Amino acid sequence: MRLAIRVRPGAARESVGGAYGEGAVVVKVNARAVDGRATEAALRAVAEAFGVRRSDVRLVTGATSRDKVVEILGNDQELTERATALRMA
């Protein structure tokens, strides 16, 4: 499945949850937005939140933007349910 995320770098605590704009999931990471560190941290956080391996999460668009689209491999029904729950968090 593809998922829109909004990355908030430099957060005190890492978390995945909440909605931004038209349904993007908010991903807060400790890493700063330098040399792709925040993007990599966001991909790891998304993988952990969805219960998949990091290699199952791929950046589709937004390498240098806070707004990104990621692709998550796995059972689409389970991933969709998890995404809905995270937006509500």
In tens digits, what is the pLDDT along the chain, a chain of 89 residues? 999 999 999 999 999 999 999 999 999 999 999 999 999 999 999 999 999 999 999 999 999 999 999 999 999 999 999 999 999 98
Q: How many structural domains does the chain have?
A: 1
Please tell me the pTM assigned to this model.
0.95
Report the candidate in 78, 30, 23, 13 with the shortest Cα–Cα distance to residue 52: 78
Q: What letter represents residue 68's amino acid?
A: K
At residue 86, the 3 state secondary structure works out as helix
Q: What is the CATH number of the domain that holds 35?
A: 3.30.1200.10
Tell me which residue range forms the domain holding 40.
2-88
Name the token pair of 44. Answer: 């790891």
